Amino acid sequence: MSSKQTQPIAKQIAITAILLAICLASQFLKNLSVYITGPIVNLCIIFAVMTAGLMWGLILAVITPFTAFIIAASPVMAAVPGIIPLIMLGNAVLAVATHFLFKPAVSCGRPLISVRSIIMAILPCLIKGCVMGLTIALWLLPTFIPEASPLRDKMPVFQTTFSITQFVTAIIGFVYFFIVWKPLSKLLKIQKN
């Protein structure tokens, strides 16, 4: 393989590694507020999809819930470990929807901020929130948290966290993306395609 062929892969790996490091650093703040960590992780997934490609966004989508569990597992994650693959699924849905809906809306010289791009940014967030709401908030938690568990008293909070809050933190992640995209894309010399 020539150096021209490996350069894009090396750049993709480097970008993804930096984004993973940012996610890991933010996860140490997870216990302060989901509104700190969530938007940063969502931003990193979105940014990986937009710069390195869908595969790299999916890698972050799968790794970050596992690292969140290791770094700062919440009581509900410890009580119902089946939540981890469903968070991975929600993140993966965000990555895929961003790739197929948002990325085409801002490619080929189209303006980053337009009615079309904003709608195409909201849709992946809504899809992620709905997928996590249906799988985690409405099915997994009510099914697998025992009636006698003290966690049952916090069920409404957990259900909001894994549905509406996921939508909101994904929206905030996109807002951050709109802010950082232009300067960082120039820095990384990202080609629009």
Other beta carbons less than 10 A from residue 126's beta carbon? 15
Shortest CA distance to 38 belongs to which of 185, 178, 164, 144?
164
- Tell me the domain boundaries of the chain: 3-188
* Backbone dihedral region for residue 140 (phi beyond 0: left; psi -120 to 50: alpha; all else: beta): alpha
* Cα–Cα dist 165/159, whole Å: 9
Q: Give domain 3-188's CATH number out of 1.10.1220, 1.10.1760, 3.40.630, 3.40.390.
A: 1.10.1760
* Averaged pLDDT in 10-residue chunks for the chain of 193 residues: 62 95 92 91 97 96 95 88 97 98 87 92 98 97 93 94 97 96 77 44
Whole-model pTM over 0.85 = yes
Closest C-alpha to 76, from 134, 136, 129: 136
Structure tokens at 79: 């009580």
* Dist. CA 56–CA 15, nearest whole Å: 9
Is residue 160 packed enough to be buried (19+ CB in 10 Å), middle (13-18) or exposed (0-12)?
middle
- Residue found by looking up tokens 């960590």 in the block: 37
pLDDT in tens, 87-132: 999 999 999 999 999 999 888 778 888 999 999 999 999 999 999 9
